[in-house]
Amino acid sequence: MSWLEAIILGLVQGLTEFLPVSSSGHLRIVSEVFFGDDAGAAFTAVTQLGTEAAVLVYFARDIAHLAATWFRGFGSAEVRGMQDYRIAWLVILGTVPIGVLGFLFEDAIQTTGRNLWLIATMLIAFGLVLGVAERFGRQRRPLERLTVRDGVAMGFAQALALVPGVSRSGGTISAGLFLGLTRQAAVRYSFLLAIPAVVAAGIFQIPDVLDTSGPGLQPTVGQMVVATLVAAAVGYAAIAWLLRFVERHSVYVFVVYRVTLGLVVLALLGTGTISAT
């Protein structure tokens, strides 16, 4: 991997991690179209540590309050009745599906799941799902009215993002809209839900990304650090933009973008311009 490739891929990760467009799918597509190879699932997971660092900084006050409330709840029945205590538990509960499924299907995710035919198809299919959720979701309930059913359902929706092209935020936002949450509530819970899962996956994949004996684009330690820092800086700006955007606009723009990109990738594959694997 060259320094230019590392910086561009870090930029792509930061721009797309929080938007419902699939950062892992974009890294795979950009790697293939512009650099003729695959940066790999481990590169994606480790650069996500940068974008999750952006979440920790942006939501530092909220996260600290949730964590403190959760710990206090072990010794106080009064605190256990607070909504923040319940939301903290729902974040933990919603993390379980992606943790279990990610462990069970790790090999398939890193190999079969990175086929561009599959990624393009998922971009289109789950783009349409997002559009249907926007159209028919009632969007009445705020984050404070999140239930155990919501947490479990959105946790399984997040787990679908183990397949590149689905989008972690796209899956959770779609599920939240179907469940009647407002866009703002679905997006904020999506951010919170990602923290434990993505941080654990990134730390777990560090040894893999440092192993340069495999196929594909191989970054040095320095390139990996720079790509992660770029992803963090750009990701912070993307969070602020998305939160403002969903207050005033629908998510249809992401639906159109996903479907268009998916069709373009299918066309490139069909003409033999790029390789699926």
What are the domain boundaries of the chain? 3-270
Single out the residue of 35, 29, 40, 50 nearest to residue 5, CA to CA.
Answer: 35
Single out the residue of 154, 217, 204 nearest to residue 180, CA to CA.
Answer: 154
pLDDT in the model for residue 77: 84
Query: Considering only 11-15, 130-134, 146-150, 211-215, which range has the smallest mean pLDDT?
Result: 211-215
Single out the residue of 198, 44, 41 nearest to residue 110, CA to CA.
Answer: 41
Token pair 């192993």: residue: 211
Name the more confident of 43 and 228. 228
Strand partners for 181 = 141
Contact 148, 90 (CB under 8 A): yes
Q: 216 falls in which pLDDT band (50, 70, 90)?
A: low
Q: What is the pLDDT of residues 52-96, one digit of tens each?
A: 899 889 989 888 988 999 999 888 888 888 888 989 999 999 999
CA distance 124 to 114: 16
pLDDT in the model for residue 173: 94
pLDDT in the model for residue 259: 97
Contact 173, 20 (CB under 8 A): yes
Q: What does the radius of gyration of the chain's CA atoms come to, in whole angstroms?
A: 18
Question: What percentage of the chain carries pLDDT values higher than 70?
Answer: 97
b/e burial code for range 44-60 (CB count within 10 A of at least 16 → b): bbbbbbbbbbbbeebbe
Burial of 206 (0-12, 13-18, 19+ CB in 10 A): middle
Q: What is the pLDDT of residues 126-148, one digit of tens each?
A: 999 999 999 999 889 998 888 99
Rounded to the nearest 10 degrees, the angle between the axes of helix 168-178 and helix 148-159 is 150
Q: 166: which DSSP letter? A: S
- Terminal-residue alpha carbon distance, the chain: 18
CA distances for 87 relative to 84, 112, 148, 218, angstroms: 5, 35, 9, 40
Question: What percentage of the chain carries pLDDT values higher than 90?
Answer: 53
Residue 213 has pLDDT above 70, yes or no: no
pLDDT in the model for residue 214: 60
CB neighbourhood size of 220 (10 A): 13
Tokens of 180: 């009647």
pLDDT in the model for residue 136: 93
CA distance 230 to 224: 10
- φ and ψ at 46, to 5 degrees? -75, -40
pLDDT in the model for residue 84: 87
- φ and ψ at 183, to 5 degrees? -60, -45
Tell me the residue type at 217: L
For 211, residues 6+ apart whose C-beta sits below 8 A from its C-beta are none
CB neighbourhood size of 102 (10 A): 18
Residue 178 has pLDDT above 90, yes or no: yes
Mean pLDDT throughout 263-277? 93
Token pair 């559009």: residue: 131
Q: 218 falls in which pLDDT band (50, 70, 90)?
A: confident
Q: 44 falls in which pLDDT band (50, 70, 90)?
A: confident
Residue 24 has pLDDT above 70, yes or no: yes
pLDDT in the model for residue 114: 85
pLDDT in the model for residue 185: 92
Mean pLDDT throughout 20-33? 92
